[in-house]
Amino acid sequence: MDILHTHINNHDLTGLREYWHFLDQRLFSRLEQTYTPSIRKLETSLLKLYIVNAVQSNKPDKVMEFFERMTSELQGQAEWRDWFGVYIMTIWCSVDQVLSYLLYGTLLPFIASSWQLQRIKFINDFTVNRFSDAAI
């Protein structure tokens, strides 16, 4: 899943979404329905990882682009409520203040490098195992 990680590190939201769509159409859609909640959680984790990476890389324009493009899809989902605070802070505050919001708020676990590495490993392991389960 180096491709996903590369899109995140390059702040390429379009590439990330397109590749995820490709995986969804070619791999995930062929799996049993029992995997659907896990797949959606993986997608959510990837998107959150994208935001954290953009903030840590001092790319407020990428954070703003993310929310401008994704708000209609994410609005109303409880797991995204606190994340819209990152968007608001990106508009009005410095990067240091946004990082402080992440560090001292409910989003602290997401900024930890251990969480980020776990997400990447989990996504990789899940996908590799599902490739062996699906008839592609």
32: DSSP letter: -
Single-letter amino acid, residue 26? R
Residue 18 domain-assigned (yes or no): no
**Number of Cβ atoms within 10 Å of the Cβ of 15:** 15
Residue 122 domain-assigned (yes or no): yes
List the domain range (segments joined by +) for residue 68: 41-131
Residue 66 domain-assigned (yes or no): yes
Q: What is the residue-averaged pLDDT of the chain?
A: 80
Residue 123 domain-assigned (yes or no): yes
Residue 84 domain-assigned (yes or no): yes
Residue 36 domain-assigned (yes or no): no
> Is 110:48 a contact under the CB 8 Å cutoff?
yes
**pLDDT band at residue 17 using 50, 70 and 90 as cut-offs:** very high
pTM, two decimals, is 0.80
Q: How many domains does the chain have?
A: 1
Residue 78 domain-assigned (yes or no): yes
* 132 vs 7: which has the higher pLDDT: 7
Residue 16, classed as helix, strand or coil, is: helix
Residue 10 domain-assigned (yes or no): no
pLDDT at 120 over 80: no
**Dihedral sign of CA atoms 90, 92, 95, 96 in order:** negative
Q: What is the pLDDT of residues 66-118, one digit of tens each?
A: 999 999 999 989 888 888 888 887 777 777 777 676 666 666 565 666 665 66
Alpha-carbon distance 131 to 90, whole Å? 38
Q: What is the pLDDT of residues 27-36, one digit of tens each?
A: 888 888 888 8
